[in-house]
Amino acid sequence: MTKRTSLKLTDERQLLLKRASEIVARDDLDDPPMSVVLDAALTHLVESRENLEDVRDQYPPQTVKDCCNTSVLGLRYRTAIESKWR
């Protein structure tokens, strides 16, 4: 990962940030800063991967795929968890 000092906010990215902000907000009046929303999203991604790793040997592969696959993380066969992003 390269470090950048700016973040280009495309329309799609702004929509994702708005949707994520609604999830992170305490209530309809809360407007969390972007840094809090990004921290929450990154933490969720890391924890989702860890959770997927933890359960993939406890349940049948199809059950794990049905419950845990997303557009970012997914179970491929029985041996690997892959990042589908980018």
pLDDT in tens, 34-59: 999 999 999 998 988 888 888 878 88
Is 64 strand, coil or helix?
A: helix
CA pair distance 21, 17, nearest whole angstrom: 6
Mean pLDDT, residues 9-18: 93
Q: What does the domain layout of the chain look like in residue ranges?
A: 13-23+32-83
What's phi and psi for 53, nearest 5 deg?
A: -60, -40
pLDDT of the residue at 36: 94
Q: How far is CA 5 from CA 2, 8, 49, 65, in A?
A: 10, 10, 27, 36
Query: What is the pLDDT confidence band of residue 86, given thresholds at 50, 70 and 90?
Result: low
Query: What is the pLDDT confidence band of residue 60, given thresholds at 50, 70 and 90?
Result: confident
